Every structure is written in structure tokens, then in C-alpha cells.
Amino acid sequence: MSDMTMPVADNRAEFFRGLRVSVPVLLGFIPFGLLLGSQAGMKGFSPLEIALMTGLNFAGGSEFLVIQLWTWPPAIPLLVALTMLVNSRHVLMGATLAPTMRHLPRRKVLPALALMCDECWALGLDDARKRGGVLSFPFYLGLSVGLYLSWPTSAAIGAAVGPSLGDVTRYGFHMAFPAVFLVMIFGMWTGFRAARPWFVSLVIGALTYLAVPGPWYVPAGALSGLLAAYLWARSE
């Protein structure tokens, strides 16, 4: 049964199922959002300004980079270029998620992609694979809304209270996202054979990070992993 013909009660149940699945990741979002907001507050951002930035962009990696490089007056062309570079991984993420949304009308696909972040993508794709390659839009909406709302809210709170706390990294907040990412990898693990492109991406990304200044390790890791997956698929 497609999402278009699913009864309202089932849609509601799927929405709350997605919301429940988002809770463990949401608990990782909050401390990382507080950390981002705190750093932004120390750079002069108001809670409203950081809430707007995180709500309109919804991509933590590029937001941390912008805050780290922020000066006054800001180098807008540089910040825009680096944001697009770091967020370029979303092109590949959207391409892998798109086949699971073929049954959905465009008026649902576009909001789904607009709400996509690394965690929404991973959890949504994993759930779609368990459903035979079909994404449940109500599930994905519940998953995404919970994460989306927590990010600018926690960042705004961090901007409000962070400057008075000083360096909040001493509380260990910066370890939240790596922990969430490791949990997601564990949940999607199907064996070393399927994970080979991940390891290629990891190695190339790490080497690029060590050898090349700037965020070039992001597209280098993403593209190398994609190329490795393509070559292994052809050879098999």
C-alpha cells in the first residue's frame, strides 16, 4: 500500500514511529547544537541569528566551519563556497534516497529532501530497505521533524547561555555526533563486503584531511567511496 492510499490512522502511527526512532539521535543533536550555539554566541551571533542559520541550512558540518571562519566583516564568497563544498555530500545522499521515493508525488519528495540530513538519510534509507526499498513518507516526516526542530532550538539555547559558560568542549559535548554516527554505522552494518566503499571513503577522506587544507576531505571521501562502489559493482 502506498503512502497516498494509506489510512489516516496508519499515517499517524507511521509518523509517531519515525518520531520514536529519532529520539536516540535527537539526544545526540542537543549537546552538539548547544556546542555550536555556544561557539556562535562567542562570535557575536544572537540566538535568533543562529536559529535562522541552522534552520535554513540544516547541515551541522558546514555550520561549524562557518562559525570557525567567521570574521567581521565576513568573507561572504568564501563562506558560501565552503558551505556548498561541505554540503556537496547531500547530492550523493539524495541520489541514493531517490529510488525509494519513486512512489511519492513531487510535493512530498521535495520537502523530504529539504529536511534530509546525514542522520535522516541513514535512518530513512535503512527503514526503506527493510520495507522492500520503499520509503514510508509519514515515517520519514516524523523522523525528520523531530531532528529538525531540535537542531535550531538547541543552537539558540547554546548561543544564549554559552558565552557565560566559556569553553563548553570541556564538558565532552563534541563527542555526541561521533557517538551517534558510530551507532548508525552499526545499525546499517551488513558485513565487510558491503562496507568496503565506506573504508575507501574513510581512508581517502583522512589522507586528504591530513594533506590538503580546508574541507576538501568531504568531497574527496564521498566521491572515492562512490567510485569504489561503482567499480566493485561492475566487477561483480
Confidence of residue 93 (pLDDT cuts 50, 70, 90): confident
What value does the mean pLDDT take over residues 148-177?
77
Provide the CB-side half-sphere exposure for 105 (13 A, CA). 4
Q: What sign for the dihedral angle of Cα 68, 71, 77, 80? A: positive
At residue 216, the pLDDT reads 80
Residue 218 above 80 pLDDT?
A: no
User: pLDDT tens across 53-87, in order?
Assistant: 999 999 888 898 888 888 888 888 888 888 887 88
Residue 167 above 90 pLDDT?
A: no
Lowest-pLDDT choice from 101-105, 107-111, 198-202: 198-202
Residue 55 and residue 58: Cα distance in Å, rounded? 5
Q: What is the DSSP string of 159-225?
A: HHHHHHH--GGGGTGGGHHHHHHHHHHHHH---HHHHHHHHHHHHHHHHHHHHSSSTTHHHHHHHHH
What value does the mean pLDDT take over residues 106-123?
88
DSSP 8-state symbol, 133: S
Provide the CB-side half-sphere exposure for 63 (13 A, CA). 26
- SS3 of residue 132 by DSSP: coil
pTM of the model: 0.74
Q: Which of 142, 181, 165 is nearest to 28 (CA)?
A: 181
Confidence of residue 32 (pLDDT cuts 50, 70, 90): confident
